[in-house]
Amino acid sequence: MSLDNNPITARAHTNIALVKYWGKKDEKLIIPNNSSISLTLDEFYTETTVNFDDNLHQDIMYLDNKKVNSIKSITNFMDIVRNLSNINKFAKIISYNHVPTSAGLASSASGFAALAAATSKAAGLNLNDKELSKLARRGSGSATRSIYGGFAEWKKGTNDKNSYAVSIQNPVKMDINMIAIILDNQPKKISSRKGMKISVNTSPYYNAWEKQTTKDLETVKDAIYNNDFTALGKTAELNSMRMHSLTLSSDPSYLYLNKDSLLVINHIKALRDKGIECYYTMDAGPNVKIICQSKNIKKIKSELLQSFDEEKIKISKPGEGIKYL
Ligand code: PMV
């Protein structure tokens, strides 16, 4: 079969972890120390087209119409697919990110999930969701979960074969939304890869995190099955703060939150004092995601408008899994 001029396009949505992954036991294969749970979002996604071409002497990539010059992580990822499919051609990769790149809004999750889907299909592999999830994991841990819509769990496993994500519930039954406040769309100073390594090696609380996260995972899973929004929101917020306390307790200490993140947290506390139920979660960047039910979106938005411009406030519902376009 000739693979030339057979471009394949895939779309993957970002996911936000309700129970976070923080720390690897295998850096190269990206095997995590703890399992995690996420919600895939409809608002943020990546679309990627891959075309293998006999005339190319290396992979080339365009992201949002700009040529990407340092593509080592992409080439390494493409090598995994070339090995799996026994092909030795290079590819042209054209990607559009509908996510602020590298600001804790999981562009690496949707990016590597879309790349895994488009590349494997363009290479003639017909991977099922589990195989795709394992492949996406090799690009970025959080991408493991972006294969699925709705709620997904990345089962940590112990090796390349048994570390992958599964769907927990899709379509989602719970009335759940995430409001993202885009505070900073600059790439982060400390990558999650580097941050995790510092935490694992130096935070005296890392063992406690592993233990607690195992409990948080069960609580959130039960909350999903029981349609218990309160238990889900509370536990997701606590789990996020437990992750950020690892960054503070590391040596050297580092911090992803900024003063605007704290401002959002204060708004959320003010909303709760007024009886409006909502919770917050943050990843390896300053942006805050608010977990809420549909009936409260308007009130939460008008509170946030006191401090932030409307275009910084993005409302997401649960999103779908991988799609070929
Ligand atoms: O997959 P990475 O390297 O982008 O790491 C993701 C880490 C968190 O977003 C903070 C947590 C998670 O589980 O998504």
Domain boundaries, the chain: 8-173, 177-316
Q: What is the pLDDT of residue 184?
A: 75
Q: How far apart are CA 174 and CA 273, in angstroms?
A: 24
Which is it for strands 90-98 and 36-53: parallel, antiparallel or unpaired?
A: antiparallel
CA–centroid distance, residue 3 to ligand 1 (Å)? 33
Which ligand 1 atom is at minimum distance from the Cα of 142?
1
Q: In this structure, what are the phi and psi dihedrals at residue 167, rounded to the nearest 5 degrees?
A: -80, 135
Quick one: CATH architecture of 177-316? 2-Layer Sandwich (3.30)
- Residue 211, helix vs strand vs coil: helix
Assigned CATH topology for domain 8-173: Ribosomal Protein S5; domain 2 (3.30.230)
Q: What is the pLDDT of residue 276?
A: 98
CA–centroid distance, residue 21 to ligand 1 (Å)? 6
Residues with CB under 6 A from ligand 1: 17, 20-21, 36, 108, 140-142, 192-193, 283-284
Q: What is the pLDDT of residue 185?
A: 65
Which ligand 1 atom is at minimum distance from the Cα of 16?
14
Q: What is the pLDDT of residues 110-165, one digit of tens each?
A: 999 999 999 999 999 999 999 999 999 999 999 999 999 999 999 999 999 999 99
CA–centroid distance, residue 118 to ligand 1 (Å)? 22
Q: How far apart are CA 68 and CA 213, in angstroms?
A: 37
pTM (global) more than 0.80: yes
Q: What is the pLDDT of residue 2?
A: 53
Count of beta carbons in the 10 Å neighbourhood of residue 313: 16
Q: What is the pLDDT of residues 223-261, one digit of tens each?
A: 999 999 999 999 999 999 999 999 999 999 999 999 999
Angle (CA) 294 113 18, round 5°: 40
Q: What is the pLDDT of residue 70?
A: 86
Task: Enumerate residue ranges in the chain where pLDDT < 70.
Answer: 1-4, 100-106, 185-187
Residue 253 amino acid letter: S
Q: How far apart are CA 183 and CA 221, in angstroms?
A: 30
Which ligand 1 atom is at minimum distance from the Cα of 143?
1
ipTM of the complex, rounded to two decimals: 0.98
CA–centroid distance, residue 142 to ligand 1 (Å)? 5
